[in-house]
Amino acid sequence: MYLDSGNLEDIKKIQASSIFKGITTNPSILVKEKCSRKTAITNILQQSNKLVFVQTVGFTYEEILADASALLATFGKERIAIKIPAHEDGIYVIETLKKEDKTIKLLGTAIYSADQAIAAGLAGADFVAPYVNRMSGASINPFKEIAKMRHFFDKQALSTQIMAASFKNAGQVMEAYESGADTVTIPYDIYEQMTNKLLAIEAIHVFNQDATLFES
């Protein structure tokens, strides 16, 4: 599981947790921090020793490759993974970077279909990120698409992991896992939905109230 956030308070909460393996960001997340991308990523890396995913900016092959190279030169491949949009030019960038250095961690992002994820996986992406809630909003069944990805990656023995993203609620997270996602990236409020169940909270309060009876 990964934290989808650039908020330093949320990142502080998961720093000591083994549940969260890293942090994912994108330009829309980082703009909320009201500072430059470089400053935002620097702050996150100072707050956490977990792997941080940073998305490239650009649309053409040349633009994306140049930005990916600049990010790696600035932050180092040991600290960050690179998120690359999985359209035609982006997939060629994934292929290029993997040919140059197989140890660079790459995630194909903005995925809306199984065939798109498969192309990114064949190009060498370590992760692909299907956008669950956005797919649902576009009348695409994200769970069927994840199942197709799972079937292909397993059949071809590809090591590409499915990191489902874009969630509206905790129920979607569970359906993504059940459909074959290896992992998910979620904002902290979704994690709170997963853990702070109303019935569980009420039961805990009852247990604590009953426990006081032994002290009287």
Say if residues 81 and 107 touch (Cβ distance below 8 Å): yes
pLDDT value of residue 201: 83
**Percent of all residues in the chain with a pLDDT value above 70, rounded to a whole number:** 100
pLDDT at 211 over 90: no
Provide the 3-class DSSP secondary structure of residue 53. Answer: strand
CA distance 98 to 90: 12
pLDDT value of residue 210: 77
pLDDT at 12 over 70: yes
**Geometric angle at alpha carbon 35, from 32 and 39, rounded to 5°:** 120
Q: Which residue has the higher pLDDT, 60 or 204?
A: 60
pLDDT at 184 over 70: yes
What residues contact residue 173 under an 8 Å CB cut-off, 6+ apart? 164, 167, 184, 186, 190, 194
Q: Identify the band that residue 216 occupies on the pLDDT scale cut at 50, 70 and 90.
A: low
pLDDT at 195 over 90: yes
Say if residues 160 and 126 touch (Cβ distance below 8 Å): yes
pLDDT value of residue 198: 86
Say if residues 109 and 85 touch (Cβ distance below 8 Å): yes
Say if residues 30 and 37 touch (Cβ distance below 8 Å): yes
CA distance 146 to 43: 33
Buried b / exposed e over 171-180, threshold 16 CB at 10 Å, is: ebbebbbebb
**Domains in the chain, ordered, with CATH?**
2-213 (3.20.20.70)
What count of residues does the chain have?
216
Encoded tokens for 24: 């994912």
pLDDT value of residue 22: 97
pTM of the shown model: 0.93
Q: Identify the band that residue 67 occupies on the pLDDT scale cut at 50, 70 and 90.
A: very high
* Cβ atoms < 10 Å from Cβ of 7: 17
pLDDT value of residue 202: 86
pLDDT at 146 over 80: yes
Fill in the DSSP letter of residue 32. Answer: G
CA distance 85 to 64: 9
What residues contact residue 137 under an 8 Å CB cut-off, 6+ apart? none
Of the candidates 116, 122, 121, 138, the one whose C-alpha atom is nearest the C-alpha of residue 130 is: 116
Strand ranges inside the chain, DSSP E: 2-4, 22-24, 51-55, 80-85, 106-111, 127-130, 161-164, 183-186
Average pLDDT, the chain: 96
